[in-house]
Amino acid sequence: MSSRKPAKSAPKPPNEAPAAPAKSAPRGRIGAAREVSAGGVVVHEGKVLVIVPTRRAADGSHVLGLPKGHLDEDETTAQAAAREVREETGVTAELVQELGEVRYWYVRDRRRIAKSVYFFLFRYMSGDLADHDEEVLEARWMGFAEAQKALSYPGERAMVARALAIEEQDR
C-alpha cells in the first residue's frame, strides 16, 4: 500500500515565486513535463486589470489573477500574452516590456508539471471589460496597492509590484 496522497487534477501554484530557479525532477522519475504560458499586467490610470477565472483553486475558492494562458502553435510569449489579455479581458493593450518569469510546480494526473509563466507589461488602449471570454467570470480594474495584496498568487503579486515600479519610474 502506497503512502502517497492522490494527485490533484487542477493546477495549484501555492509555491509560486518570481524568477526562482526551477527544481529538477526527482531522480528515477520518468515523464516530468514542462508547460509554458504567458500573461499580462495591463495598466491604465493608476490601476491594473485583474480577472476572476471560472476555474477555481484546488480548495474550491475563487481565484483573483492576471490574464494568462498557454501559447498557441508558433506564437511567441509576447504574442500569447497579448492574445490572452484580449480574450480574457475584452481589451486591446500595447506591449511595453517584459516583466519576468514566474516558475512553479503542480501535479496533474499524478505527474509533476514544471510551469513557467512569462509576464509582460501592457498599457490599455481600448475595449470593454464585459467582452471577456467564457473562461472568465469577471474582469475589473483594481488599484496597484490593492492588487498587490488581493491577487491569489505571490508570483503575480510580484509582477504587479514590478509593473508599479516601472510606472512610477516613467512618471
Question: Is residue 60 one of the residues assigned to a domain?
Answer: yes
The two counts, helices (H) then strands (E), for the chain are 3, 7
Tens of pLDDT along 45-56? 999 999 999 988
Q: Which cell numbers in the block locate residue 142?
A: 483594481
Question: Is residue 66 one of the residues assigned to a domain?
Answer: yes
User: Letter for the amino acid at 74?
Assistant: D
pLDDT of residue 44: 97
Question: Is residue 16 one of the residues assigned to a domain?
Answer: no
Question: Is residue 146 one of the residues assigned to a domain?
Answer: yes
Domains of the chain: total: 1
Domain that holds residue 132: 39-170
The CA-based angle 29-33-34, given to 5 degrees, is: 140
- Rounded CA separation 122/143 (Å): 15
- Rounded CA separation 122/86 (Å): 11
pLDDT of residue 10: 40
Question: Do the Cβ atoms of 43 and 159 come closer than 8 Å?
Answer: no
CATH of the domain at 108: 3.90.79.10
Question: Is residue 99 one of the residues assigned to a domain?
Answer: yes
Task: Please report the beta strands in 54-110, taking only residues with DSSP state E, as ranges in sequence order.
Answer: 68-70, 91-108
Question: Is residue 8 one of the residues assigned to a domain?
Answer: no
Average pLDDT per block of 10 residues along the chain, 171 residues long:
40 41 40 88 97 89 96 96 97 98 90 95 97 94 97 96 93 72
Whole-model pTM: value is 0.80
Question: Do the Cβ atoms of 136 and 53 come closer than 8 Å?
Answer: yes
pLDDT of residue 31: 57
Question: Is residue 18 one of the residues assigned to a domain?
Answer: no
Question: Is residue 29 one of the residues assigned to a domain?
Answer: no
